[in-house]
């Protein structure tokens, strides 16, 4: 068993209105960042977990996302990084 | 008829629900703790409002895994009535009792105002004494649905 640090991004699904993202985009525009086209505000989770190897750590975190961390109706998730903790 | 009212950490309209059942309806109300494993003989379950588990992760996302929710879902599967109020409705959606999910209000503000609702059907046990006005209070109250069929179910 080793300890792995798995980072996950959870963001509102494309096509759904993300009012937080829109508010941030509007604020960036008013600050002069004219090139901003879209902002989506989500969550970034960093999970330390014991697992036999990196692949199974990632698999377990995917399972966590499906069961609790993300709502499949409104959110998408992606594993951003897996490294030895 | 016996009403079971669930107390989650962060529930805040549970006492109101208890009083409504006892004083307004004149029916028996029992408390159900979120860690309980049985409904204490309740015929109707009320999931009250509030901010269970601080709305962490998503409103209702953590409360749905409380031990009592396993019993509530089984009760609903047997056709037993469950009333989800405010955060209780969010918990019911997260727990799969209702289709779809709730989204942040477009304004990003907590909304507390009178809202006109149109009663489409008074031939249900939930709406047979309904009137056309109700108080709307929510921060995460925008119903998002997977498909049109779900709207018909509501």
**Predicted ipTM of the assembly:** 0.76
Number of domains in chain A: 1
Q: What pLDDT, on the 0 to 100 scale, is given for residue B112? A: 79
- Chain A / chain B CB contacts < 8 angstroms: 30
Top-confidence residue, A17 or B126: A17
Report the DSSP pairing between strands B133-138 and B82-84: unpaired
Confidence of residue B153 (pLDDT cuts 50, 70, 90): very low
User: In angstroms, what separates the C-alpha of B56 from chain A's closest C-alpha?
Assistant: 10
Least confident of A45-59, B67-81, B103-117, B120-134: B120-134
The confidence score (pLDDT) of residue B147 equals: 38
What local confidence, expressed as pLDDT, does residue B140 receive? Answer: 62
Nearest CA to B18 among B151, B10, B9, B28? B28
Closest CB to A71: pick one of B58, B62, B65. B58
Report yes or no: A20 at the B interface, CB cutoff 8 Å.
Answer: yes
Q: How confident is the model at residue B129 (pLDDT cuts 50, 70, 90)?
A: confident
Nearest to A19 among B100, B108, B145 (CB): B108
Nearest CA in chain A to B147: A73
- Structural domain including A20 reads 2-84
Chain A: closest CA distance from residue B8 (Å): 18
DSSP-assigned states of every residue in A34-54: TT-------EEEEEEEEESSH
Q: What is the largest CA-CA distance in chain B?
A: 42
Average pLDDT, chain B: 84
Band of pLDDT at residue B127, cut at 50, 70 and 90: confident
Containing B32, the helix (H) or strand (E) segment is: strand B28-33
Judged by average pLDDT, the poorest of A75-84, B14-23, B102-111, B135-144 is B135-144
Whether residue B101 and residue A71 make contact (CB cut-off 8 A), yes or no, is: yes
Q: pTM, whole model, 2 decimals?
A: 0.80
The residue that leads in pLDDT, A18 or B133, is: A18
Residue B20 has pLDDT above 60, yes or no: yes
> Helix or strand or coil: residue B65?
helix
Q: Pairing state of beta strands B44-47 and B2-7?
A: parallel
Provide mean pLDDT across the span B2-19. Answer: 95
**pLDDT for position B138:** 58
Indicate which CATH number applies to the domain containing A11: 3.30.1280.10
Which one, of B29, B34, B149, B17, lies nearest residue B91 by Cα? Answer: B34
Domains of chain B, first to last = 2-153 (3.40.50.880)
């Amino acid at each position: 068993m080793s300890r792995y640090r798995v980072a996950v991004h959870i963001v509102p699904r494309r096509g759904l209105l993300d009012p937080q993202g829109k508010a941030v985009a509007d604020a960036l525009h008013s600050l002069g960042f004219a090139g901003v086209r879209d902002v989506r505000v989500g969550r970034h989770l960093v999970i330390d977990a014991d697992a036999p190897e990196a692949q199974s750590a990632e698999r377990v975190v995917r399972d966590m996302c499906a069961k609790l961390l993300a709502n499949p109706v409104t959110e998408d998730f992606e594993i951003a990084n897996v490294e030895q903790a | 008829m016996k009403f079971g009212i669930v107390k989650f950490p962060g529930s805040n309209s549970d006492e109101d629900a208890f009083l409504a059942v006892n004083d307004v309806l004149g029916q028996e109300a029992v408390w159900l703790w979120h860690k309980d494993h049985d409904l204490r003989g309740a015929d109707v379950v009320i999931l009250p409002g509030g901010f269970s588990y601080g709305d962490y992760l998503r409103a209702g996302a953590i409360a749905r895994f409380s031990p009592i929710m396993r019993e509530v879902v089984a009760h609903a599967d047997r056709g037993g009535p469950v009333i989800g109020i405010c955060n209780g409705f969010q918990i019911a959606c997260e727990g799969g009792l209702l289709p779809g999910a709730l989204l942040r209000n477009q304004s990003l503000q907590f909304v507390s105002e009178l809202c006109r609702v149109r009663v489409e059907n008074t031939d249900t046990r939930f709406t047979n004494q309904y009137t056309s006005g109700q108080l709307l209070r929510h921060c995460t109250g925008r119903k998002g649905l997977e498909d049109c069929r779900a709207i018909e179910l509501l």
